[in-house]
């Protein structure tokens, strides 16, 4: 009664890490080997047979956000613990593929043997590798519905030229691991570009307000609680203006971003800014811009 353990998804740029755990209990299944050496069709057939015949099996999942938060090493341990905790079938030994005991520090540590290439040598470890890969591949293929431009059903999150091209063109999704260098680099580059475009839009909005007779008091006023894009005055009224920029009208109008929640945040920021001043006539406003270079689409005084 051996519990075999293997992981899938250690190295991709996107998607979860998955650890498979299987107790075959003496059941023989022909064709078991490292999941990467099997065709997709063969893996699917074996996945069904393993789930039908194994004495026990489980999957431990760790999300991209968790990987970014705790690091890959800790994520491997967490996924392994999550898988093992679900196994109710009795076993006398645990074999983990590789050289690292991911159960160190738990009450399962003493049962563990680590073996290089165990997914090719030990049937229950091969089975764990197969069910983990099939489950993860299916999950990533399903992400095509939400993120159709990234080709997840093809590369399942691994670093490919197609994946890199999609990242550069469409940006980062919640599936991506920001702690992985290629993804982090793209994210930082796009953040800098977005910041530069935002600054350009704010400059255009500032000129528009000046043209309407405003005197600019401050730009990008920030505290740890809130921020205001532009503070200006006109005819003894202090204006607190939110700047909303859209690259194209296909992204929707900027006014749609002024929800009740956003409006309350703007009110809070304005009251905080004027907390030391008495009897201030305040008004909230929004400037929306679109295009490259940015052009003012609308100006609206809210309150």
pLDDT digits (tens, 9 = 90+) for 22-70: 999 989 999 999 999 999 999 999 999 999 999 999 999 999 999 999 9
Contact predicate 142/148, CB 8 Å = no
Do 42 and 166 fall within a single domain? yes
Report how far residue 87's alpha carbon sits from residue 22's, in angstroms, rounded to the nearest whole number. Answer: 8
Which CA distances in Å does 8 have to 5, 130, 165, 203, 239? 10, 9, 24, 48, 55
- Specify the range with the lowest mean pLDDT, choosing from 74-78, 205-209, 288-292: 288-292
Do 119 and 51 fall within a single domain? yes
Do 233 and 116 fall within a single domain? no
Q: What is the CATH number of the domain that holds 236?
A: 3.40.1350.10
Do 142 and 58 fall within a single domain? yes
Contact predicate 93/103, CB 8 Å = no
**Parent domain of 256:** 194-301
The per-residue pLDDT for range 205-242, each reduced to its tens digit, is 999 999 999 999 999 999 988 999 999 999 999 999 99
Q: Is the dihedral of CA 86, 91, 93, 95 positive or negative?
A: negative
How many structural domains are present in the chain? Answer: 2
Report how far residue 83's alpha carbon sits from residue 277's, in angstroms, rounded to the nearest whole number. Answer: 59
Question: What does pTM read for this prediction?
Answer: 0.73
Taking residues 127-148, report their average pLDDT. 97
């Amino acid at each position: 009664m051996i519990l075999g353990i293997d992981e899938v998804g250690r190295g991709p740029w996107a998607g979860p890490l998955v650890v498979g755990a299987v107790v075959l209990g003496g059941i023989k299944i022909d064709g078991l080997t490292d999941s990467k050496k099997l065709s997709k069709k063969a893996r699917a057939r074996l996945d069904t047979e393993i789930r039908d015949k194994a004495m026990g099996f489980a999957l431990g999942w760790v999300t991209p956000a968790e990987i970014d938060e705790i690091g890959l090493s800790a994520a491997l341990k967490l996924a392994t613990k999550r898988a093992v905790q679900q196994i109710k079938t009795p076993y006398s030994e645990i074999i983990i593929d590789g050289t690292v005991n991911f159960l160190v520090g738990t009450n399962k540590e003493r049962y563990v043997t680590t073996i290089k290439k165990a997914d090719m040598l030990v049937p229950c470890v091969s089975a764990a590798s197969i069910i983990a890969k099939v489950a993860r591949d299916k999950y990533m293929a399903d992400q095509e519905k939400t993120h159709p431009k990234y080709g997840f059903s093809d590369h399942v999150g691994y670093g490919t030229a197609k994946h890199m091209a999609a990242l550069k063109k469409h940006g980062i999704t919640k599936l991506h691991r920001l702690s992985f260098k290629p993804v982090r680099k793209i994210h930082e580059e796009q953040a800098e570009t977005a910041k530069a475009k935002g600054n350009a839009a704010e400059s255009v909005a500032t000129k528009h307000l000046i043209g309407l007779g405003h005197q600019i008091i401050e730009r990008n006023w920030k505290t740890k609680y809130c921020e205001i894009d532009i503070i200006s005055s006109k005819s003894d009224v202090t204006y607190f203006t939110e700047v909303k920029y859209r690259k194209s009208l296909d992204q929707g109008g900027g006014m749609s971003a002024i929800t009740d929640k956003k409006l309350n945040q703007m009110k809070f920021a304005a009251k905080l800014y004027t907390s030391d001043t008495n009897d201030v006539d305040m008004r909230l406003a929004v400037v929306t811009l679109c295009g490259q270079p940015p052009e003012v689409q609308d100006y609206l005084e809210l309150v």
